[in-house]
Amino acid sequence: MGIEDRFAAYYDAFEESYEDDDWSRIEPYFTEDAAYEAGPDDARGRDAVLAKLEGSVGSFDRKMDTRTPIFQTPTVEGDTLTVRWEVQYTKAGCPDLTISGTETAVFEGDRIKLLRDDFDPEAQKAMGEWMAAHGSKL
């Protein structure tokens, strides 16, 4: 199984975990010393990575009425997979919000050693403006 297939399996497992809140399901996709870089606080170590992923979903995504992730076809170069993504959110009484960026996964064997999300500058601006105007409704 190549890293593109392994990432697809991770993504499917992530979405299942999003649905049932069983984040142990994605543990086998990360090295023990994995890192997740997204925003100001990086997570180091598999347990911290799982906690950060669960926490970010719980603090925002779950508070929205709908969440629709869209991933483009990834590119692979050696042990690194890169994929453009977009997530569309709805919340009653608020305008829809779309954020986008690039996710990079660096593999060690069949496990992710580094996962990094880079938000598009426009997405960061849109998120900040949306939160300033509507964050109190979450």
pLDDT of residue 107: 98
> What percentage of the chain has pLDDT greater than the value 70?
100
* pLDDT surpassing 90 at residue 40: no
Q: Would you say residue 1 has pLDDT above 80?
A: no
Measured between alpha carbons, how far is 52 from 32 in angstroms, rounded to an integer?
15
Task: Give me the CATH topology for the region 3-137.
Answer: Nuclear Transport Factor 2; Chain: A, (3.10.450)
8 Å CB contact between 21 and 34: no
- pLDDT exceeds cutoff 80 at 89: yes
Position 39 pLDDT exceeds 80: no
For every residue of 27-67, DSSP letters joined together read GGGEEEEEEEE-SS--EESHHHHHHHHHHHHHHTGGGSSEE
Domain boundaries, the chain: 3-137
The pTM of the full predicted model, rounded to 2 decimals, is: 0.92
Q: Which residue has the higher pLDDT, 56 or 80?
A: 80
Say yes or no to pLDDT of 112 above 90. yes
Q: Do the Cβ atoms of 79 and 91 come closer than 8 Å? A: no
Across residues 32-58, what is the average pLDDT? 93
pLDDT value of position 110: 95
